[in-house]
Amino acid sequence: MSEEFRRLLSLPGVGEATAERLREAGYETVESVAVASVDEICEAVEIGKMQARRIIEAARKAAEIEDFVTADKVLEKRKNVGWITTGSSQLDSLFGGGVQTQAVTEVFGEFGSGKTQLAHQLSVNVQLPEEEGGLNGKAIFVDTENTFRPRRIISMAKARGLDPSEALRNIFVARARTTDRQLLIAEKAQEVVEKENVRLLVFDTLTSLFRAEFIGRETLAARQQKLARHLLTLHRIADLYNVAVFVTNQVQARPDLFFGDATRPIGGHVLGHSATTRIYFRKSRGNKRIARVVDSPELPEGESVFVITEEGIRD
């Protein structure tokens, strides 16, 4: 019996038959039940609304989703928010002072737009002292496309006056090859975060394996559900440990659109509403790139230009 299944079974009102039906309907974890609607659970398990509501409430408790807190506590917690510089002051202002802790930041854009470069740069910059735009911390880099380059870390670290070997030792790299693995790594990341002074968690590219594994319209619901569950874990880590979660996302061409950007981030709405801050990258001339804020609750809409140089991301 899997750990997840055991957790489902431990919910009051969930017996073996119910747990089995939940699992068959795609609710494999307590978290997925916690974010489900009453109607969805009713339909999945063929039980009454009352019982479904009870199960969801129990799942929410078990998933340790926070209850209401007073606003002064929120303010208290926000005081601990830290920022990691991107290397470009213009880009930093666009991000609201850099990439924030206690938040999930998503950068999406076409190939070669600089998403992986920024992921490398942040893994270096998080190690800088606070007065230089860092958090004196370590990074976890989850690589789903085999594009992590230690050599690039070395050049970027040297350019910021860091000891390159030490910079490499401060980055924990994990290679994810399947979405199952990716979700597991996220859970494991929590353990590393607890032990080490990790202040940045990178997923580059968050959605590529989901895109590869879930093909065709009929798999869309399952994909979104799994992605939502994954993001719940990431938000929890960001929140609980005051970590900056930075994820990258590709765009899919939309041949059905004639106006505006003929591109759309993979993951659609789930990711759209789940990321705290979303920035869209596009290529410009040469090594120039343009970044734009997309529907952020805190940041004003705007654009900024940055360059990718030998030394890394710069104004």
Task: Give the residues lining the site for ligand GTP (CB under 6 A).
Answer: 109, 111-117, 152, 250, 287, 308-310
Minimum gap (Å) between residue 194 Cβ and ligand GTP: 29
Minimum gap (Å) between residue 162 Cβ and ligand GTP: 17
Closer residue to ligand GTP, CB minimum distance, 37 or 284: 284
Cα distance between residue 227 and residue 72, in whole Å: 32
Return the one option of Mg ion, ligand GTP, none that residue 109 interacts with (CB less than 5 to 8 A, by type): ligand GTP
Minimum gap (Å) between residue 252 Cβ and Mg ion: 15
Return the one option of ligand GTP, Mg ion, none that residue 10 interacts with (CB less than 5 to 8 A, by type): none
Cα distance between residue 309 and residue 315, in whole Å: 10
| Neighbouring residues of 311: CB distance < 8 A, sequence distance ≥ 6 | 155, 156, 159
Quote the DSSP letter at residue 146: S
Return the one option of Mg ion, ligand GTP, none that residue 287 interacts with (CB less than 5 to 8 A, by type): ligand GTP
Closer residue to ligand GTP, CB minimum distance, 82 or 109: 109
Minimum gap (Å) between residue 90 Cβ and ligand GTP: 18
Closer residue to Mg ion, CB minimum distance, 115 or 235: 115
Closest CA to 294 of 153, 125, 111, 106: 106
Q: What are phi and psi of 114, to 5 degrees?
A: 110, 10
Burial class (CB in 10 A: 0-12, 13-18, 19+), 53: middle
Residues forming beta bridges with residue 156, ordered by sequence position: none
Contact 241, 140 (CB under 8 A): no
Return the one option of Mg ion, ligand GTP, none that residue 152 interacts with (CB less than 5 to 8 A, by type): ligand GTP
Using DSSP's 3-state secondary structure scheme, residue 224 falls into helix
| Neighbouring residues of 144: CB distance < 8 A, sequence distance ≥ 6 | 175, 176, 177, 182, 203, 204, 205, 206, 208, 209
Using DSSP's 3-state secondary structure scheme, residue 223 falls into helix
Positions touching Mg ion (CB under 5 A) are 115-116
Cα distance between residue 265 and residue 83, in whole Å: 25
Contact 45, 21 (CB under 8 A): yes
Closer residue to ligand GTP, CB minimum distance, 120 or 235: 120
Contact 41, 16 (CB under 8 A): no
Cα distance between residue 225 and residue 231, in whole Å: 10
Closer residue to Mg ion, CB minimum distance, 18 or 116: 116
Minimum gap (Å) between residue 98 Cβ and Mg ion: 20
Return the one option of ligand GTP, Mg ion, none that residue 208 interacts with (CB less than 5 to 8 A, by type): none
Return the one option of Mg ion, ligand GTP, none that residue 117 interacts with (CB less than 5 to 8 A, by type): ligand GTP
User: Which residue lies nearest Mg ion, judged by its C-beta?
Assistant: 116
Report the Cα–Cα distance between both ends of the chain, in Å, rounded: 53
Minimum gap (Å) between residue 249 Cβ and ligand GTP: 9
Return the one option of ligand GTP, Mg ion, none that residue 114 interacts with (CB less than 5 to 8 A, by type): ligand GTP
Quote the DSSP letter at residue 172: E
Closer residue to Mg ion, CB minimum distance, 115 or 236: 115
Minimum gap (Å) between residue 284 Cβ and ligand GTP: 11
Minimum gap (Å) between residue 189 Cβ and ligand GTP: 21
Closer residue to ligand GTP, CB minimum distance, 208 or 233: 208
Return the one option of ligand GTP, Mg ion, none that residue 54 interacts with (CB less than 5 to 8 A, by type): none
Closer residue to ligand GTP, CB minimum distance, 145 or 239: 145
